Structure 1
Amino acid sequence: MPGTVLLLAASPVGKGCLVDAASVLPVLAAVPPAVLAGTDTANVVELADPLEPQAVLTRLRAAAAAPGPLTVFVAGQLQLDRKQRLPHLALARTTPSTVRYTGFPWHWFREELRLRAPGTTTLLLDLHADAETWGWLRGRGLECGAGVAAYGRVAPPAGRRKVAAPTYMKAIATVLRSGGRPGPEQLHQTALARIAGEGEVGDLVLWGAGPVPGAVPGAGPVPGTGAGVPGGFAPAAPAAPAAPAAPAAPSVPASGGGAPGSPPPALDGPRPRTPDGPAGDPHAAITAAVQAGDHSAADALAARLEHGALVAHGAGSEEALHWSEVRADLAMFAGDAERSCRTWMAVAEARLAAGQPADAAPVEAAVDRAHHQWGRVTDRNRARDLGPALAELRGRVPGRRQGALDHVREQLRQLQTQG
């Protein structure tokens, strides 16, 4: 099955730039697509210094929806927004005061990849952080999502007025261009070994699958040895010499969503343990049903899990809300924009009723997705019926995008005028 590769390099223009992220793209682009993906054939999408977070979101969603292994290469810098203190990938127009609106929220990666089957997605990351974000990361780590294999490093600022180079990612590209395709862990270790002598001390090193509950960032054995907590961070140290490259084992299948010009996605809630699906994970069974085109079976399974979570944990619990969000996504995949819109609105109302603030990321995300799906309802009567409830909800949850409430009101006026 063909693989998909997303190459993303982003950093601010001007004095806020910490790393010349785009300089790695020509080196990566020189690697054959099949080698980048670790598959027989592959499609490559390249994003160089994108201006808008929505443009990145659209490309990421399209890549996540591709029915095959997905490998995402990200070079850039991380910054915290001033309001919610969440990490964002800084884009070309990002400044410290506009991160919330011009950066790409890191949790969007986790959200867009959450419905992919475990073991199908690999992230390779070469990130730099300003001093404030660096301190935040050392206390919390960087979450990439359950079932996602993430490898890479995060480096502190290189120094006053000094722009760093994405040396880890360039080392990755050099290894891949040299022939063969080592597996991601060996590729990661080899890249660490290549940059170990370049004086980049104090880095955080990320490796393995999605984060393990209870893992402590900054703890564990020296990276580069293959030991340690999967998905955790540890202080960088000289890596052990890498073994010779071996043929790679490729990744595997997917699922996702699509959306022009709006919504930040919702945060991923805790995934309840259940006996359904391979290895006890019902997400794999749901993903398989969606890929087979059996949307009713996928929704029926999610509905059973939602009901079980409601009984066990209550209506406002993250366990129940997670399955409601999954059902909203499933409605979107099935082409039922009206049902998806109604479900996202119900999720937002449930979060608000549970006491979550209107500017909480999961609440904003649910309303933004409801807004987006409303715009895809083709039946004018149904869209007109949904509009007042969405406008009322939008009034309480304006979100990050300026003019979102005005947009709903204007569209609703047009629908009412057109009768």
Structure 2
Amino acid sequence: MVITGENSAPGTALLLAAAPAGKGRLVDAASVLPALAAVPAPVLTGTTGTAATVIELADPLDPQTVLTRIRGAAAAPGPLFLYLAGQLHVDRKQRQLHFALARTTPATVRYTALPWHWLAGELRARRPGTTTVVVDLVADGEAWQQVSEGHAGLGPGTLLYGRIAPAPGRRTVAPPAYLRAMATIWRSGARPSFAQLHEQAAAQSEHPAGALLFPPIPTSPATPQPPAARAPLPTPPEPQPPGTPAPAGATAPAVHAPTSADATVAGAQAPALGREFGGAVPPAPAQTPQSAQGPVPATTQPAPARPASAHAPAERPPSEVPSADPQVAAAVPAVASGGALSGREDPHPAILAAARAGRHTEAAAAAAACEGEALRAYGPASVQALHWLEVRADLARLARDPARSCELWMAVADARLRRQQTADDPDVEGAVDRAHHQWEQIRDAARARRLAPELVRLRRRVPGRQRGALQLLQRRLEQLQSGPSVTS
């Protein structure tokens, strides 16, 4: 894929994702390409406002072909960004690092993988400071030893960001969580510096034990992350397959606040809670979970008209919601006046702290204000508004209101489908899977029955990757229709 803007001397981005087919695959490298490809081309090339060229290579077969594309990209005069997702191996004869391609096997590394020193050689001729390489790699045993000894460098003139992790356990395929988190942050509308982006992506992605970050991130809690550099709230854990009972006594693990000292976040990246509270999410996009006690707080200013939806609750201004936390109380008017979107204030830490402390109404009031501001500033179909809708869905999960969470995740799925995202888009599938998983947790049978028709409609349109999900949904619905109004 090549995207060219209006001006001359464009920046160039090369997206290279590859991993061997079959049992030799350690990472699902190519799964990150749709998320990266959805990022505006000038953002990928660091040349906002100028022309940009993006080249995408998904599971290429021949190292010479890859070298030719790298050589062509390296010859471009503007800045060059290489995004690499895949795995590293060492050839048996010369004991040199190689980037595996689709046909690579342990016995054919030397002939079917891209030698790491080829890549370093092509980049060495470029003017120092004009080349940035972003990696999300997994290294097998001997390759990991070389990486740990510092043999994965690409020369002093190349800026290196990302992570390299040891190979996962047997028959385990790791996700490219670091690059996925980076794409989620960009797709949420945030434009931090690359150093800040590195910190945010590292904080939002789960790292295997011993993984190396380039450059390393300070772990001292005495160095707080600047408000403008903070990432969106982390994504929830991936939903269990429909029909799997939830662990006793828990609806979700604790969520870590995204700081530079936080190197891991439980769960995969899904849509923006980034993905983007996806996940994936991005992630990265909360209003109080609706309960029997009353309606949900919202912003003091009317939001633009939103598409009609059965999931939209009655709302009231956040000023009517008492707050025991002055940080949360201050976040609501600050966000409503544009503070969060302008980068002057970041409401995520206060929202997350309130939710973790059990003050779900306060957290939701501030998050709903953020959504209202996003709706006014960017429109109801924007990724910014979707970010906060997803935050609302996961706040409902944290508040142990699965019915409300299900409603909101269905609204997310509908909104993404209206944006012309396809039924097999990971963000769409993730929203429907999360809605289905939350529906499975509903103990009020009457409420589950009310939500079921909409969920069945979505499941028929978005079957997902879990076999028999629609059949499981219909089977439980039949049980609910023949049983009492409240299940145990």
TM-score by length of 1: 0.50
Which residue, 99, 104, 118 being the options, matches 1:108? 118
AA at the equivalent of 2:204:
R
2:169 aligned with 1:164, yes or no? no
Aligned twin of 1:202:
210
Secondary structure of the residue that 2:184 maps to in structure 1? helix
AA at the equivalent of 2:150:
R
AA at the equivalent of 1:70:
L
2:150 aligned with 1:140, yes or no? yes
2:26 aligned with 1:2, yes or no? no
Aligned twin of 2:19:
11
**In the alignment, is the contact (CA less than 8 A) between 1:38 and 1:181 conserved in 2?**
no
Aligned twin of 2:163:
153
The C-alpha deviation readout for 1:173-220, integer Å capped at 9, x for no partner, is: 11111114222211111101111xx35321011128xxxxxxxxxxx9
Over aligned residues, Cα RMSD in angstroms?
A: 2.9
Separation in structure 2 between the aligned mates of residue 96 and residue 53 of structure 1, nearest angstrom:
15
Offset, 1:221: 5.2
Secondary structure of the residue that 1:151 maps to in structure 2? strand
Gaps of 5+ in 2: 1-8, 225-259, 266-339, 344-488
Separation in structure 1 between the aligned mates of residue 111 and residue 89 of structure 2, nearest angstrom:
12
Aligned twin of 1:27:
35
Aligned twin of 1:377:
none
Which residues in structure 2 correspond to 1:19-418 (within 5 Å)? 19-39=27-47, 40=49, 41-195=51-205, 198=206, 200-207=208-215, 222=219, 238-239=262-263
Offset, 1:62: 0.5
Q: Against the structure 1 CA distance between its residues 60 and 134, is the aligned structure 2 distance closer, same or farther, given a 3 Å change threshold?
A: same
Offset, 1:136: 2.5
Separation in structure 2 between the aligned mates of residue 52 and residue 245 of structure 1, nearest angstrom:
45
Offset, 1:99: 0.5
Separation in structure 1 between the aligned mates of residue 220 and residue 141 of structure 2, nearest angstrom:
23
Larger Rg: 2
Secondary structure of the residue that 2:152 maps to in structure 1? coil
**In the alignment, is the contact (CA less than 8 A) between 2:133 and 2:161 conserved in 1?**
yes
Secondary structure of the residue that 1:143 maps to in structure 2? coil
Separation in structure 2 between the aligned mates of residue 16 and residue 207 of structure 1, nearest angstrom:
28
**In the alignment, is the contact (CA less than 8 A) between 2:92 and 2:107 conserved in 1?**
yes
Separation in structure 2 between the aligned mates of residue 10 and residue 184 of structure 1, nearest angstrom:
24
AA at the equivalent of 1:204:
L
**In the alignment, is the contact (CA less than 8 A) between 2:82 and 2:133 conserved in 1?**
yes
Separation in structure 2 between the aligned mates of residue 223 and residue 239 of structure 1, nearest angstrom:
11
Aligned twin of 2:449:
none
The C-alpha deviation readout for 1:300-348, integer Å capped at 9, x for no partner, is: xxxxxxxxxxxxxxxxxxxxxxxxxxxxxxxxxxxxxxxxxxxxxxxxx
Separation in structure 2 between the aligned mates of residue 97 and residue 180 of structure 1, nearest angstrom:
44
Secondary structure of the residue that 1:140 maps to in structure 2? coil
AA at the equivalent of 2:135:
L
**In the alignment, is the contact (CA less than 8 A) between 1:182 and 1:245 conserved in 2?**
no
Separation in structure 2 between the aligned mates of residue 222 and residue 200 of structure 1, nearest angstrom:
17
Q: Against the structure 1 CA distance between its residues 18 and 246, is the aligned structure 2 distance closer, same or farther, given a 3 Å change threshold?
A: farther
AA at the equivalent of 1:239:
A
Separation in structure 2 between the aligned mates of residue 74 and residue 95 of structure 1, nearest angstrom:
19
Offset, 1:71: 0.7
Separation in structure 1 between the aligned mates of residue 172 and residue 264 of structure 2, nearest angstrom:
29
Aligned twin of 2:442:
none
**In the alignment, is the contact (CA less than 8 A) between 2:165 and 2:207 conserved in 1?**
no
The C-alpha deviation readout for 1:66-103, integer Å capped at 9, x for no partner, is: 11011110000000011111110000010111101111
Q: How many residues align?
A: 225
TM-score by length of 2: 0.43
Gaps of 5+ in 1: 209-219, 227-235, 248-419
Secondary structure of the residue that 1:27 maps to in structure 2? helix
Secondary structure of the residue that 2:126 maps to in structure 1? coil
Q: Against the structure 1 CA distance between its residues 69 and 199, is the aligned structure 2 distance closer, same or farther, given a 3 Å change threshold?
A: closer
Separation in structure 2 between the aligned mates of residue 83 and residue 240 of structure 1, nearest angstrom:
37
**In the alignment, is the contact (CA less than 8 A) between 2:14 and 2:82 conserved in 1?**
yes
Offset, 1:240: 9.7
Q: Against the structure 1 CA distance between its residues 246 and 132, is the aligned structure 2 distance closer, same or farther, given a 3 Å change threshold?
A: farther
**In the alignment, is the contact (CA less than 8 A) between 1:53 and 1:91 conserved in 2?**
yes
Separation in structure 1 between the aligned mates of residue 123 and residue 150 of structure 2, nearest angstrom:
21
Q: Against the structure 1 CA distance between its residues 87 and 37, is the aligned structure 2 distance closer, same or farther, given a 3 Å change threshold?
A: same
Secondary structure of the residue that 1:124 maps to in structure 2? strand
**In the alignment, is the contact (CA less than 8 A) between 1:21 and 1:76 conserved in 2?**
yes
Separation in structure 2 between the aligned mates of residue 82 and residue 31 of structure 1, nearest angstrom:
39
**In the alignment, is the contact (CA less than 8 A) between 1:180 and 1:246 conserved in 2?**
no
**In the alignment, is the contact (CA less than 8 A) between 2:146 and 2:152 conserved in 1?**
no
Separation in structure 2 between the aligned mates of residue 80 and residue 185 of structure 1, nearest angstrom:
30
- Bigger relative contact order, structure 1 or 2 (CA pairs below 8 A, ≥6 apart): 1
Query: In percent, how many aligned pairs have the same letter?
Result: 57
The C-alpha deviation readout for 1:79-131, integer Å capped at 9, x for no partner, is: 00111111100000101111011110111111001111111011110000112
